[in-house]
Amino acid sequence: MTPTAPDSSQIIKGLCELALLSLLKDRPHYGLEMLHILRTEAGIDLADGTIYPLLHRLAKAKLVQAEWRLDQDGARPRKYYALTSSGQRELAVQVEQWRKVSVALSAFLSRKHKS
Amino acid sequence: MSPDPTSIQNPSEIQNWLRRFKWSLAAIPSPERDDIVAEVAAHLHESLCAGKSPAAVLHQFGSPENYAPYFIDEIELSSALSSQHSGAMIAAVLNRVHRSAIAAALGIALLFLGAIFFTALTAAFLKLWDPAHVGLWHHGRLFFIGKIDDPASARELLGFWLYPCAFVAIALSWLAGRFVLVHGVRSLAQKERFTAPKLA
């Protein structure tokens, strides 16, 4: 997949927080794994480095909590992120906001011009 | 507890990048800084293990000097907001004046309120030392507050009412300054929250 062009990617990047919170709703994930899922399932092709300041910001806001764990082989340390109860509430709010904006924008974009 | 990033065997390019990244994060307290570096080091190591070249891996992060401020800015704002210290909040605003319209507007508003605060404070103090020459003066079409050499050349309007007026001006400018500062820094944090880093 070709990384998104810089100009159009700003729209997608603004939605990263929502996508990350939604991703963590099911189970904890680590950074590289989240990037892979965002790319393959959400079509959000972020540069690798983009995700850590976002995760750091979410952790500072106590929307997610982080924990170091070793992988199954015990060879690699990975920092896993899980959604907190505040994060779940924030996700619900952001999903609702996104749905309202999405419906309104879709209606606007598909409007018919009056002749 | 974060792992020690130097314990992971990485090529020298990666080690150099991580070293520069850690230096660039010097403004962040040690445990938090080490944790950020360890997480990025683990990511770089795992990407290398997946078969990517060091150059390709580092391209995804940009230069360490450009990457580090994304973490520093966030910590500066959240620390300032949580402490509610005026000094920390003013520093956070001043550090953004050259790159944020909100911060620039905040800076101008704070400068204006600060000028009122210090003018009132200075006038009240000077009035204590030299009550005959200090006050709110009216001369012709001009009003000014401060000290004049010849009190007979202008009319003083406040007299000792200058003290309560100065007190009110100091209190109101302080309260307005705090209000503008707290809400302004919150706006900055909200704006930066929705501005994702531009990398690669």
Distance CA B14, CA B112 (A): 48
DSSP H or E stretch at residue A70:
strand A64-70
Residues of A in contact with B70 (CB under 8 A): 53
* Interface residue A76 vs chain B (CB under 8 A): yes
pLDDT digits (tens, 9 = 90+) for B119-148: 999 999 999 888 888 989 998 888 888 888
End-to-end CA distance of chain B: 30
pTM: 0.68
What backbone phi and psi angles, to 5 degrees, belong to A47? -65, 145
Find the angle CA(B49)-CA(B55)-CA(B59) to the nearest 5 degrees. 105
- DSSP label of B60: T
Tokens describing residue A84: 């907190």
Q: Say which of A16, A48, A53 has its CB closest to residue B70.
A: A53
* Interface residue B17 vs chain A (CB under 8 A): no
- Specify the pLDDT at position A52: 93
Q: For residue A92, give every residue at least 6 positions away whose Cβ sits within 8 Å of its Cβ, in sequence order, or none.
A: none
Over residues B19-35, the mean pLDDT reads 93
pLDDT digits (tens, 9 = 90+) for B165-177: 999 999 999 999 9
- Specify the higher pLDDT residue, B75 or A104: A104
3-state secondary structure of A19: helix
- Specify the pLDDT at position A6: 40
Asked whether residue B106 carries a pLDDT value surpassing 80, the answer given is yes
Task: Give me the residue spans of the domains in chain A.
Answer: 10-103
* Interface residue B60 vs chain A (CB under 8 A): yes
3-state secondary structure of B137: strand
Tokens describing residue B109: 């508003």
Distance CA A50, CA A67 (A): 20
Least confidently predicted of A6-20, A50-64, B51-65, B117-131: A6-20
The shortest C-alpha distance from A58 to chain B (Å) reads 9
* CATH 3.40.50.1980 describes domain A10-103: no
**Nearest to B127, CA basis, from B113, B112, B110, B147:** B147
Please name the residue of chain B whose CA is at the shortest distance from the CA of residue A57.
B74
- Specify the higher pLDDT residue, B6 or B89: B89
What average pLDDT does chain A have?
Answer: 84
Least confidently predicted of A66-80, B97-111, B116-130: A66-80
Over residues B173-189, the mean pLDDT reads 91
> How many contacts, defined by CB atoms under 8 Å, are there between A and B?
79
Asked whether residue A5 carries a pLDDT value surpassing 50, the answer given is no
What average pLDDT does chain B have?
Answer: 87
- Specify the pLDDT at position B55: 93
Number of Cβ within a 10 Å radius of residue B63: 12
- Specify the pLDDT at position B146: 85
